[in-house]
């Protein structure tokens, strides 16, 4: 039985982390735990946590770090995450890093690697503009996109400093074809002794 693989993928909007996250998870046979997906699932199922999230969102407010962390902890406690998981979109700031640390330490678990997709700001903006046009999202103006990237740079990027001091961060060049970026990710993971099992990747 292979050891559980617990990963975190981080990158600015437009870095391709959602697509790469799915590829990694499929190769390792682990679930992607995306904050947005977990929120939506809880709201759709009408869980107690989901009702709390709906109330906050309906009021036009942001979901607090504490509530976000409770929902992610609940998801990571499910049976399918026992053999590992890939986190996407959480933790998104230093407070959530502390919450995740407490949760994992309480279970005697730890992250195996933090994959940081590095994409120049101009490239991210160009990709997001192209996506907005492709999906007909008129509200994704250049100003809105720039604001999202600024929030990432001020709130989320600092978590890489914390994980960097723990020797967990692998910076991945996020520019290139999907396959090229995927190959770089797997090369970095293999360098850490984290290779997909033949069964999961078959």
Examine the residue annotation and report whether 137 is marked as an active-site residue of this protein. Answer: yes
What percentage of the chain exceeds 90 in pLDDT?
A: 73
Q: Secondary structure of the chain in the HEC alphabet?
A: CCCCEEEEEECCCCCCHHHHHHHHHHHHCCCEEEHHHHHHHHHHHCCHHHHHHHHHHHCCCCCCHHHHHHHHHHHHCCHHHCCEEEEECCCCCHHHHHHHHHHHHHCCCCCCEEEEEECCHHHHHHHHHHHHHHHCCCCCCHHHHHHHHHHHHHHHCHHHHHHHHCCCEEEEECCCCHHHHHHHHHHHHHHCCCCCCHHHHC
Residues in the chain, pLDDT under 50 = 1, 199-202
All domains in the chain, ordered by first residue: 5-33+84-201 (3.40.50.300)
pLDDT tens for 98-118 read 999 999 999 999 999 999 999
- Of 6, 17, 23, 184, catalytic: 17
Examine the residue annotation and report whether 107 is marked as an active-site residue of this protein. Answer: no
């Amino acid at each position: 039985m292979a050891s559980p693989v617990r990963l975190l993928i981080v990158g600015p909007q437009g870095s391709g982390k959602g697509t790469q996250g799915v590829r990694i998870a499929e190769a390792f046979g682990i679930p992607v735990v995306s904050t947005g997906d977990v929120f939506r699932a809880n709201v759709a199922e009408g869980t107690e946590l989901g009702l709390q999230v709906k109330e906050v969102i309906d009021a036009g407010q942001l979901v607090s770090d504490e509530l976000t962390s409770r929902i992610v902890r609940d998801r990571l406690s499910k049976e399918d995450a026992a053999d590992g998981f890939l986190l996407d979109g959480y933790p998104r700031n230093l407070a959530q890093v502390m919450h995740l640390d407490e949760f994992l330490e309480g279970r005697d678990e730890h992250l195996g690697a933090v994959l940081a997709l590095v994409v120049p700001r101009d490239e991210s903006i160009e990709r997001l503009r192209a996506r907005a046009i492709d999906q007909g999202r008129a509200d994704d103006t250049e100003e809105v996109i720039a604001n999202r990237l600024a929030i990432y740079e001020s709130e989320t990027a600092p978590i890489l400093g914390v994980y960097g001091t723990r020797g967990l961060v692998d910076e991945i060049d996020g520019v290139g074809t999907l396959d090229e970026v995927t190959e770089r990710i797997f090369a970095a993971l293999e360098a850490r002794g984290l290779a997909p099992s033949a069964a999961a990747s078959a």
